[in-house]
Amino acid sequence: MSEDLDPGMSQRRELLRRAAWLLGGAISAPAALAFLQGCSRKDAGADVQASGVLSAPEMDTIAAIADIMIPKTDTSGALDADVPQFIDKALGALYPESEQQRFKAGIAEFGTPTVDSVKQAIAAALTADLDPKPFILMMRELTLLGYFSSRVGITENMEYVPVPTAFHGCVPLSQMGKHVYWE
């Protein structure tokens, strides 16, 4: 593929220039590149490997739960969107150590995920209104966040228009095709 047809590449280079500027020019190019690559995810493939705070067996468990929560149907599923990898990284980046450990303990206690066990765990957690949030709800929140911040999750379920150019306040859904992405 020529570089011109790959908006990702030229955009990434531009981002790299700007990131270097942003960080006061003090960052080396390879370090900046690693930073940028860390920002984006592959769009497909369920190559489940631990790269953050979770072990390989822990990744297997959350991959199984994510696949049950958002399976592949006529649109991509959680595994197509690299949700387990997202969770692994997000857990390390967004949560304090104590929450990470609680999440890991939740994985260990969950056992082998089945459709029924996931369903029952969610139903039980929703009625209990527990604080801190039970593992299964934290898991679902991260699965939804990972899926709906992925390219396939957004573009296959919604109409993603990067530059809408106009706002119309009252449009019949029947005229919209897929409903639009608003977040």
Backbone φ and ψ for 180, nearest 5 degrees, come out as -85, 155
Q: In angstroms, give the least distance from the CB of 119 to another protein.
A: 6
Q: What angle do CA 79, 83, 86 make, to 5 degrees?
A: 145
Among 34, 93, 105, 108, binds another protein (CB under 8 A): 93
Instruction: Based on the shown chain and the rule CB under 8 A, indicate whether residue 178 belongs to the binding site for another protein.
Output: yes
Q: Which residues pair with 180 in a beta bridge?
A: 159
| Residue 53 to residue 55: CA distance in whole angstroms | 7
What lies within 8 Å, CB to CB, of 38 at 6+ separation is 89
**CA distances from residue 173 to 148, 160, 177, 181 in whole angstroms, order as listed:** 21, 15, 7, 13
The dihedral of CA 143, 91, 88, 54: what is its sign?
Answer: negative
Between residues 21 and 108, which has the closer beta carbon with respect to another protein?
21
Q: In angstroms, give the least distance from the CB of 166 to another protein.
A: 5
Q: Which of residues 130-149 bind another protein (CB under 8 A)?
A: 137, 140-141, 144-149
53, 100 Cβ separation under 8 angstroms:
yes
Q: Give the count of residues interacting with another protein (CB under 8 A).
A: 65
Q: In angstroms, give the least distance from the CB of 145 to another protein.
A: 4
Options 20-28, 56-64, 106-114: segment touching another protein (CB under 8 A): 20-28
125, 134 Cβ separation under 8 angstroms:
yes
Q: In angstroms, give the least distance from the CB of 18 to another protein.
A: 4
Instruction: Based on the shown chain and the rule CB under 8 A, indicate whether residue 75 belongs to the binding site for another protein.
Output: yes
Among 9, 123, 128, 130, binds another protein (CB under 8 A): 123
Binding residues for another protein, rule: CB under 8 A, are 11, 15, 18-19, 21-22, 24, 38-41, 43, 68-71, 73, 75, 86, 89-90, 93-96, 115, 118-119, 122-123, 126, 137, 140-141, 144-151, 154, 157, 160-174, 176, 178-180, 182-183
